[in-house]
Amino acid sequence: MINTSTDQKWFSPLPLLKSLAFAVMVVFALALGIYSLRYALPHIPHPAPLPSFVIHRTALICHAVFASIALLAGPWQFIPSLRRKHLGLHRWTGRIYLSAIAVAYVFSLPVALAANGGIISTLGFLSLGLVWIFTSGMGLRTIFQRRVAAHQDWMTRSYAITFGAVTLRVYIVLAALLHLPTIPSYRAISWLSWITTLLFAEILIRRRRRAREARAVPTTLPAPKQA
């Protein structure tokens, strides 16, 4: 007899797809993060052919190294089991992540001013930096306020901007494969590389909020007990 009960549970591929997407993100983040750490070597192999490498060599090296640290530290913040079982590790990884972003942001400013594509690219990368430091700062502020849900949302936005380093390179490769004009493409990519990841983050955040509301999950931590 066929079970027609409304309580019957059907297989949903969504959790598997989410896990697969997260795994792909981690692979790309680790690959680019480790590869970009070559800028920490005394003799840098295969440096990017950018004007800023000549004009602002030290700033580009520092930005690349610390942005790589942020890219490598970020994914582990989003693993629920790691947060539950190793809260101390989660906090220290978060401190490393935010500290790396602060340093990378400072050194990104002169690099952005010498970006390929002129003022359009410069404004794109400067805007990226402002959104990057703002979302990261809000992530720090909300956890100090014990607003866990808001903290998770802001850190999701922050890492979406961090992951823009990956999408930037993906778009550059796609533009080359499609034989698009180099400079106009780079101007567009300086904006699209982080706007698209931020929009994707907002979709995830909205879905997560609906799930919290459906389960009535607390969004803040209880106040610490007075001694």
Phi then psi for residue 163, to 5 deg, are -70, -10
Q: How many C-beta neighbours within 10 Å does residue 27 have?
A: 11
Query: Cβ contacts of residue 69 below 8 Å, gap of 6+?
Result: 33, 96, 97, 100, 104
d(C-alpha 129, C-alpha 194), whole Å: 10
pLDDT for 7: 46
Q: Using one digit for the tens of pLDDT, what is the confidence trace for 49-86?
A: 888 878 888 999 999 999 999 999 999 998 888 888 98
134-168: pLDDT as tens digits: 999 999 999 999 999 999 999 999 999 999 999 99
- Helix ranges (DSSP H) in 37-147: 51-55, 57-73, 80-85, 87-113, 119-144
Distance in angstroms between the alpha carbons of the first and the last residue of the chain: 63
Nearest to 68 by CA among 103, 33, 28: 33
d(C-alpha 148, C-alpha 137), whole Å = 14
Over the stretch 94-112, which tens digit does the pLDDT of each residue have?
999 999 999 999 999 999 9
